[in-house]
Chains A and B, each alone.
Chain A
Amino acid sequence: MKPAPFDYVRPGSLADALAALSDDPGAKVLAGGQSLVPLLSMRLAAPSTLVDINGLPGLDGVEVTDDGVRVGALARHADVLAHDEAARVQPLLRLALSHVAHPTIRNRGTTVGSIVHADAAAEMPVVLTLLGGSVEVAGPSGTRTVPADELYVGPLESSLAHDEIATSAFFPALAPGARVAFAEIARRHGDYALVGAAALVEGGTVRVGYVSVNDVPVVVDLTGVPVEQMADAALAQLEPAGDIHATADYRAQLVRVLTERVVREATADE
């Protein structure tokens, strides 16, 4: 389990990093390495160059305003999880991040890396989608903002081009009176979820995002559906699949349980 040969560069500026990506169509960005390095070691990925962005200045911040939380590309899951202001402005961040992997992995893995890695089993892509957040992307021809609902195009596939770098992700603040809840069931503590669910109840709307159910991050609008019928309503729009840890039917059962659990929590009297 050793990677195939690759070149390695560690640029000191965003411009150099973008140039390095443009120079080599086989190049890949290396952030925290918690998803990429295992893929390299198992030779499931063999990029010709790794462009390590850990030397880029100014990308490790977590900025909080009344509008929301902006997470820089080099902010680690652990930085965001520990950020009290971020948790106050958007509580779903902390609720979800505490389910992401284990402390050692959260210390290296970046939240933005997780978002652009586009794994439907990961928590933060669903959180970003449910909240209607966005990603700031730098490319050869400048920067652009990609809304979450335009980010995920297929399994493990984002709409970022090969020569683009996500510089930050933006999570909108929780609106006054709005509520969120998060729950997941995993085989072992810290594992990827068998199913996870995040609820956002805001001004009469009820939306629930699901982790590990469809092959891309998915959010279902359940506004107006009575709580006891929500699970069926959600399942009508979902495609839970079977794998070696859970059959499709069992996943559907977990969708039922968790839908009700998060919606009740987000609508319960405080």
Chain B
Amino acid sequence: MTTKLMGTGVQRVEDQRFLRGLGRYADDVAVDASTLHCAVLRSPHAHARIVDIDVADVLDVDGVHAVWTYDDLTGPMADPLPLLIPHPALTHGRTQYALAKDEVNYMGEAIAFVVADDRYVAEDAVGRIKVTYDVLPPVVGIAAARAADRLVHDDVPGNVGARMEQNTGDVEAALAAAPHRLTLDLDVERSACMPLEGRGTVARWDPDIDRLQVWTSTQTSTGVRAVVAVKLGLDLRQVDVITPDVGGGFGVKINHPWPEELLVPLAARTLGRTVKFTEDRREHFISSAHERGQVQHIEVGFDDDGRLLALDVMFWHDHGAYTPYGLIVPIITSTQLLGPYKPDVYRVVFESLYTNTVMVTPYRGAGRPQGCYAMERTMDAIAAELGKDRTEVRATNFIQPDEFPFEQGLVFQDGRELTYDSGDYPASLEKIKALIGWDDFPAYRAEMAAQGRRVGIGLACYVEGTGVGPYEGAHVHVETSGKVKVATGLTTQGQGHATVFAQLVADELGCRFEDVEVVTGDTRRMPYAVGTFASRAAVMSGSAIHLAARKAKQKALTIAAEALEASPDDLQIVDGVVSVKGSPGSAIDLGTVAVLSNPLRYAFDEASKAATQFTVGDASKPPVAEDEEPGLEGTDFYSPERSTFASGMHAVIVETDPLTAEITVLKYAVVHDCGKLINPTIVEGQIHGGVAQGVGGALYERMVYDESGQLLNASFMDFLMPYVTEVPDGIDIDHLETPSPLNPLGIKGAGEAGVIPSAAVFASAIEDAEGLPITAMPISPSDLFHLRLAHAEETS
């Protein structure tokens, strides 16, 4: 037998292409001069009524082909964009129109769409559109939304889109009975996914075949396909959506359809030309999506050991101007907040609030970073209150390895019970303590203090529900050349799917890894799919691919058994060759099996001669057996009953400068348990990226809105995404592998984990270094400087 590839750090097959600049993104599609380009007029105001739009001057601009405003939209295009995930608690869901109708609710909202020879001309034309606004006072920030002196939408009282409560018992009684109680008020600000490739869509209408082809930078090609068909009044079979290489998604590209994802196909169909939209950076800041902004109020009751007797959480979630993605983010915060712990009683209430700012949809972690922050700040506060080590309080509250499956008594984002499938939190804690040097830290702190340096250590734990349903599918096709073509419908944004999925196919089918080619996110190849989000690709498509490869293998064995006159049980497939175990001379390669699987009437080359109906099979039986299909293929779907729960712990040592309040990362450690590892190198890459993004979210990035709702830092000059010089030099990683019982491979998701505990772990470490409470994240040196001043004043 060849060695299994599962669990080995196979080099990514994608990287040669990416590193040589051969990646092909949406903007690289249809680069010929005949392609038309678009620009969008966006609202300069956070809140205004549109009195008049005058486009008279636009069509005079040389090179302009068309301009659309709301009044030009008809049929389903004139309806609001879909509310993708309705929820009973979302009593006041609102979505925008493809082009604003009567009112704009955030700076950046699309108002008019211009199609021209090139983007320069399109922007010139946008500059000539005259809009008369009746400017309204905006609602900016959670405090203003709660105060509700002004409303974002006239028909949404109190700016409350949703109010939702879950509880596992009588929290008030449990709080009253607890020997110790604490209250915390916490804040997390907005950031955003900020993929280096923004949004992008290209569409081409082909009248010869009555078909629309759309290339779009999305995390769900099947979702875009369905909505484009509905909005343009086309049959599903008339629409293909192809996802080219995607230069990062991180969540923002799961929301769909973006206005341009409909307007570009509409323009292509109307004008009969290929049309392209490539979002620029400023547009990404002001018209895509943000996340993270929450205000949290926590009351906790605990015993002398720090055991959680009652946890009562209320939080306010800023969802911006619209709610296309429903309540996914706050529901995740409210449920995943519990992490690896098991409070006796938990109640969580949230309000999801409208503000006149860019809408909020999931960003890597999708509400978990905020939940982790609330829980871990609480753990640190309990430890401080009791004078106990922070790791001890956490260990006291862990769900134990023998308690799985563990029911938290809540309903998760997928509408299913929140049931953890497996995990080993005490083992993770031991590993993280060893990695970061937790027990040696007091000595290190003293040593640094002697040099006048100030250091602190922090720890944060999380549990992440990954691999949510409903399903994914896969198609595995062995060609007569022996090459294996694999298609799965979810999309890829650089994670390395072409590598890990090929590993799974090579292992299960027995072909050579090099012979496998994986295609993702192309509705022509796999029309049934959901998308890439919630750390689900490996779990969902990985499992489906494994099952589909198994089907192809079974078929190969059946056909080969007949050809080799052996029992299928005596056969093996190694390196693409089927042979009788123990008699290597009796062998047939998979390509030939593929030839045999498809009896031909017509021969066209030497190989196909062997497959004509006169040479293949038993002449007394039908050429294709009953219950069989021609071709060496396997298709299968994987649909789990519920999510699988990965977990992990991060620890960091930071240094804070006593004079300048600069914050430096000295050491960063991660212990991660995503069940069975398919490819440890790729998992570590996901962790590195997540930690880098987390450092950004904790120490650098924020969305600075002024009171009029202008986003003041909508560029890479003032939105401080960390450079390589700002992320930790090295990240110490250790893995734990607690298999999931829910899927055939025992795997759990790994995509988002790296970013979940950042706000929590940095707050913990900075608090430890400074000896003053950290309640608001992110934190800048300027913020820390002012916290010191305020603390000095309070304590003097």
Interface segment out of the listed A24-32, A148-156, A183-191: A183-191
A244, B700: Cα distance in complex, Å: 12
A2, B38: Cα distance in complex, Å: 12
Interface segment out of the listed A71-79, A89-97, A247-255: A247-255
Question: Which residues of B lie under 8 Å from residue A189 when comparing CB positions?
Answer: 723, 725-726
Whether A254 contacts B120 by the Cβ 8 Å rule is no
Whether B785 contacts A257 by the Cβ 8 Å rule is no
Within the complex, the shortest CB–CB distance from A17 to chain B, in Å, comes to: 26
Within the complex, the shortest CB–CB distance from A34 to chain B, in Å, comes to: 12
Given A185-B660, A244-B712, A244-B718 in contact, is the A2-B786 Cβ separation under 8 Å?
A: no
Check A175 for interface membership: any CB of B closer than 8 A.
no
Q: Which of A5, A244, A253 is within 8 Å of B785, CB to CB?
A: A253
Check B119 for interface membership: any CB of A closer than 8 A.
yes
Within the complex, the shortest CB–CB distance from B768 to chain A, in Å, comes to: 22
Main secondary structure of the interface of A (DSSP, over half): loop
A42, B725: Cα distance in complex, Å: 27
Check A33 for interface membership: any CB of B closer than 8 A.
no
Q: Residue of A at shortest CB range from B39?
A: A2
Whether B782 contacts A247 by the Cβ 8 Å rule is yes
Q: Mark A92-112, 1 if CB is under 8 A from B, else 0.
A: 000000000000000000000
Question: Which residues of A lie under 8 Å from residue B786 when comparing CB positions?
Answer: 247, 249-250
Within the complex, the shortest CB–CB distance from A224 to chain B, in Å, comes to: 25
Q: Which of A3, A4, A5, A257 is within 8 Å of B660, CB to CB?
A: A257
Within 8 A of A (CB), among B211-225: none
Question: Which residues of A lie under 8 Å from residue B715 when comparing CB positions?
Answer: 42
Report, as a range, how many residues of chain B touch the other chain.
20 to 34
Whether A246 contacts B720 by the Cβ 8 Å rule is no
Q: Mark A232-270, 1 if CB is under 8 A from B, else 0.
A: 000000000000111101100110010000000000000
Report, as a range, how many residues of chain A touch the other chain.
20 to 34
A42, B286: Cα distance in complex, Å: 14
Check B237 for interface membership: any CB of A closer than 8 A.
no
Q: Which of B124, B660, B704 is within 8 Å of A254, CB to CB?
A: B660
Whether A190 contacts B720 by the Cβ 8 Å rule is no
Tell which of A5, A191, A249, A250 has the most Cβ of chain B within 10 Å: A250
Check B400 for interface membership: any CB of A closer than 8 A.
no
Question: Which residues of A lie under 8 Å from residue B659 when comparing CB positions?
Answer: 253, 257
Within the complex, the shortest CB–CB distance from A105 to chain B, in Å, comes to: 12
Check A1 for interface membership: any CB of B closer than 8 A.
yes
Whether A253 contacts B712 by the Cβ 8 Å rule is no
Whether A188 contacts B785 by the Cβ 8 Å rule is no
Whether B280 contacts A1 by the Cβ 8 Å rule is yes
Q: Mark B652-669, 1 if CB is under 8 A from A, else 0.
A: 000000011110000000
Whether A2 contacts B123 by the Cβ 8 Å rule is yes
Whether B780 contacts A245 by the Cβ 8 Å rule is yes
Whether B124 contacts A4 by the Cβ 8 Å rule is yes
A246, B781: Cα distance in complex, Å: 8
Within the complex, the shortest CB–CB distance from A44 to chain B, in Å, comes to: 11
Question: Which residues of B lie under 8 Å from residue A1 when comparing CB positions?
Answer: 280-282
A42, B123: Cα distance in complex, Å: 11
Whether A250 contacts B124 by the Cβ 8 Å rule is no
Within 8 A of B (CB), among A1-22: 1-5
Whether A187 contacts B660 by the Cβ 8 Å rule is no
Q: Residue of A at shortest CB range from B788?
A: A253
Check B713 for interface membership: any CB of A closer than 8 A.
yes
Question: Which residues of B lie under 8 Å from residue A257 when comparing CB positions?
Answer: 659-660
Q: Residue of A at shortest CB range from B282?
A: A1
Question: Which residues of A lie under 8 Å from residue B123 when comparing CB positions?
Answer: 2, 4, 43
Within 8 A of A (CB), among B441-500: none
Given A2-B119, A4-B124, A244-B718 in contact, is the A188-B723 Cβ separation under 8 Å?
A: yes
Check B722 for interface membership: any CB of A closer than 8 A.
yes
Q: Which of B281, B718, B723, B789 is within 8 Å of A190, CB to CB?
A: B723
Question: Which residues of A lie under 8 Å from residue B720 when comparing CB positions?
Answer: 187-188, 191, 245
Within 8 A of B (CB), among A194-248: 244-247
Tell which of B718, B723, B782 has the most Cβ of chain A within 10 Å: B782
Whether A250 contacts B282 by the Cβ 8 Å rule is no
A66, B723: Cα distance in complex, Å: 40
Whether B782 contacts A5 by the Cβ 8 Å rule is no
A190, B715: Cα distance in complex, Å: 16
Within the complex, the shortest CB–CB distance from A165 to chain B, in Å, comes to: 27
Whether B725 contacts A190 by the Cβ 8 Å rule is yes
A5, B119: Cα distance in complex, Å: 12
Whether B124 contacts A246 by the Cβ 8 Å rule is no
Within 8 A of A (CB), among B744-796: 780-782, 785-786, 789
Given A185-B660, A188-B722 in contact, is the A244-B120 Cβ separation under 8 Å?
A: no
Q: Which of B700, B704, B782 is within 8 Å of A250, CB to CB?
A: B782
Question: Which residues of A lie under 8 Å from residue B700 when comparing CB positions?
Answer: 187-188
Q: Residue of B at shortest CB range from A256?
A: B659
Question: Which residues of B lie under 8 Å from residue A43 when comparing CB positions?
Answer: 123, 127
Within the complex, the shortest CB–CB distance from A16 to chain B, in Å, comes to: 27
Whether B120 contacts A188 by the Cβ 8 Å rule is no
Whether A187 contacts B785 by the Cβ 8 Å rule is no
Whether B722 contacts A3 by the Cβ 8 Å rule is no
A113, B307: Cα distance in complex, Å: 64
A53, B24: Cα distance in complex, Å: 36
Q: Residue of B at shortest CB range from A260?
A: B659
Q: Residue of A at shortest CB range from B37?
A: A2
Question: Which residues of B lie under 8 Å from residue A249 when comparing CB positions?
Answer: 785-786, 789
A239, B713: Cα distance in complex, Å: 23
Within the complex, the shortest CB–CB distance from B537 to chain A, in Å, comes to: 32
Tell which of A187, A189, A247 has the most Cβ of chain B within 10 Å: A187
Within the complex, the shortest CB–CB distance from A188 to chain B, in Å, comes to: 5
Question: Which residues of A lie under 8 Å from residue B781 when comparing CB positions?
Answer: 185, 187, 246, 250
Question: Which residues of B lie under 8 Å from residue A247 when comparing CB positions?
Answer: 782, 785-786
Within the complex, the shortest CB–CB distance from A264 to chain B, in Å, comes to: 13
Question: Which residues of B lie under 8 Å from residue A185 when comparing CB positions?
Answer: 660, 662, 781
Within 8 A of A (CB), among B668-717: 700, 704, 712-713, 715
Q: Mark B481-522, 1 if CB is under 8 A from A, else 0.
A: 000000000000000000000000000000000000000000
A112, B789: Cα distance in complex, Å: 41
Question: Which residues of A lie under 8 Å from residue B704 when comparing CB positions?
Answer: 244
Q: Residue of A at shortest CB range from B704?
A: A244
Within the complex, the shortest CB–CB distance from B135 to chain A, in Å, comes to: 22
A191, B659: Cα distance in complex, Å: 20
A246, B281: Cα distance in complex, Å: 24
Whether B662 contacts A246 by the Cβ 8 Å rule is no
A254, B281: Cα distance in complex, Å: 32
Whether B726 contacts A2 by the Cβ 8 Å rule is no
A187, B719: Cα distance in complex, Å: 11
A246, B789: Cα distance in complex, Å: 15
Q: Residue of B at shortest CB range from A246?
A: B782
Within the complex, the shortest CB–CB distance from A99 to chain B, in Å, comes to: 13
Question: Which residues of A lie under 8 Å from residue B780 when comparing CB positions?
Answer: 187, 245-246
A190, B716: Cα distance in complex, Å: 13
Given A189-B725, A254-B660 in contact, is the A5-B120 Cβ separation under 8 Å?
A: yes
Within the complex, the shortest CB–CB distance from A112 to chain B, in Å, comes to: 22
Q: Which of A2, A191, A245 is within 8 Å of B120, CB to CB?
A: A2
A187, B662: Cα distance in complex, Å: 9
Within the complex, the shortest CB–CB distance from A255 to chain B, in Å, comes to: 11
Q: Mark B117-133, 1 if CB is under 8 A from A, else 0.
A: 00110011001000000
Q: Residue of B at shortest CB range from A185?
A: B660
Q: Residue of B at shortest CB range from A251?
A: B782
Whether B723 contacts A42 by the Cβ 8 Å rule is no
Question: Which residues of B lie under 8 Å from residue A190 when comparing CB positions?
Answer: 723, 725
Given pairs A189-B726, A257-B659, 5 additional interface contacts (CB within 8 A): A185-B660, A189-B723, A245-B720, A253-B785, A254-B660
8 closest cross-chain pairs (CB), A and B: A189-B725, A250-B782, A1-B280, A2-B120, A246-B782, A257-B659, A250-B785, A244-B704
Can you pick out 19 interface pairs between chain A and chain B where the beta carbons lie within 8 Å of each other?
A4-B127, A43-B127, A185-B660, A185-B662, A185-B781, A187-B720, A187-B780, A188-B726, A189-B723, A244-B713, A245-B720, A245-B780, A247-B785, A249-B786, A250-B785, A253-B659, A253-B660, A254-B660, A257-B659
